[in-house]
Amino acid sequence: MKITRISVYQVDLPLEKPYWLSGGRLKFEKLDSTIVSIETDEGITGWGEGCPWGVTYLPAFAGGIRAGIVELAPAMLGHDPRHIDQINHIMDIALPGHLYVKSALDMACWDILGKSANLPLYALLGGRYSSHVTLQNSVSTGTPEEMVAIVQAGRAKGYTIHTAKIGADVSLDIERIHALLADLKTGESITFDVNRAWLPDQAIMVMNTINDARPYFEEPCETLEESRTVRRLTRQPIILDECIQSFGDLLLAQREQVAQGIGLKVGRVGGLTKAKRMRDFCIATGIRMNIEETGASQIGDTATIHLAIATPETHRHASWDCSALHSVITADGGYIREGGKATLPDSPGLGIEARMEVLGEPVAVYS
């Protein structure tokens, strides 16, 4: 089997409500998604998606994906897309680094592998460990009352794992945390995601003021080194997210014992192939994971739910599905959100059918 054509589509994903992160420091209203199809000489087509969370969240932007594909696509033509490690090797030689640029292409190759083997992706990624994946109720930064209201609305829909965005204003953060912990019910879990907004002194102050070891604190500071300082002087479990961009970052975080959990964002780390390697390392070393996308429509979210369901429940926390924040449907099929849970069909590959009327004409074609 050989890759004969790679087509690139651009789709805007406007969020239904503006989303605030990092204590209001970062605002997001629309995402820019890149969807790719890879066609083969055997008539099988695979689909993939890469969608950074705006331009301010990470050193990644949508235009960077499409610019990177200009370099990657010609190198992939003529190769067998089912030989996925080899395809990743080819991409890493053609364009070293730039991990997020490669995820959509890698995902489309996995889709082809699944379709050619007549197996759902999760079967190729480790097998189905559970009937569903637990989803996160994502709580945008606001006043303590507004944030409690979002948690309660999520609870009413069936969510049990909440992620509340805080950061920037230390005294208001303490109020937010107290209000949300007072509202937390038995059997629920809450993470306070700071998205890098605190300096270590602020993290230490807030986390030690909160005399409660139940919550996770996520990405308290800008760097791994700063988070290491926080780890030494606090007691709540820490999840690292933005600063885990590669296997090397994960290795360092594990060796330095900084994090008890990570956000394994498939797009950020370079695709399903590289995410799977990191997932396996986390299983081997006892690190819990939120397996999810950086941003996505139905296509990218479905890929991450496949990886999550193929991961032992003992090592999973919850997955965030970006599609819940917008109403653009780029594909039929794929994962189904019901309350706070995601389920998957058993159809081969990703199990999606792209909606060509939503994708429109390709912005680039390589053949």
Applying CB under 5 A, the residues found at the interface with Mg ion are 193, 218, 241, 263
Least distance in angstroms from the C-beta of 357 to Mg ion: 33
Distances (CA, A) of 4 to 73, 91, 224: 10, 16, 42
Determine how many CB atoms are found less than 10 A away from the CB of residue 156: 9
Residue with tokens 């600063």: 243
Interatomic CA distance for residues 169 and 184, integer angstroms:
22
**In angstroms, what is the minimal distance from the CB of 119 to Mg ion?**
31
Task: Say how far apart CA 276 and CA 109 lie, in whole Å.
Answer: 14
Q: Does 165 participate in catalysis according to the annotation?
A: yes
Question: At residue 58, what are phi and psi to the nearest 5 degrees?
Answer: -140, 165
Positive or negative: CA dihedral 138, 133, 298, 59: positive
Least Cβ distance, residue 254 to Mg ion (angstroms): 18
273/289 Cα distance (integer angstroms):
16
Q: Is 276 annotated in the active site? A: no
The CA dihedral of 13, 162, 232, 234, to the nearest 10 degrees, is 140
Catalytic, out of 115, 265, 274, 341: 265
Q: Which of 165, 274, 276, 341 is catalytic?
A: 165
| Shortest distance, position 138 Cβ to Mg ion, whole Å | 9
**Token reading at 10:** 């651009």
Cβ-Cβ contacts under 8 Å for 146 (sequence gap 6 or more): none
Q: Residue 61 CB, nearest distance to Mg ion (Å)?
A: 18
DSSP H/E element including 279: helix 272-285
**Amino acid found at 63:** G
Helix, strand, or coil here: 260?
Answer: coil
Answer whether 157's CB lies under 8 Å from 339's CB: yes
Taking the complex as a whole, how short is the minimal distance between the CB of residue 263 and Mg ion, in angstroms?
5
In the 8-state DSSP scheme, what is residue 334? S
Q: Where in the sequence numbering do the catalytic residues fall?
A: 165, 265
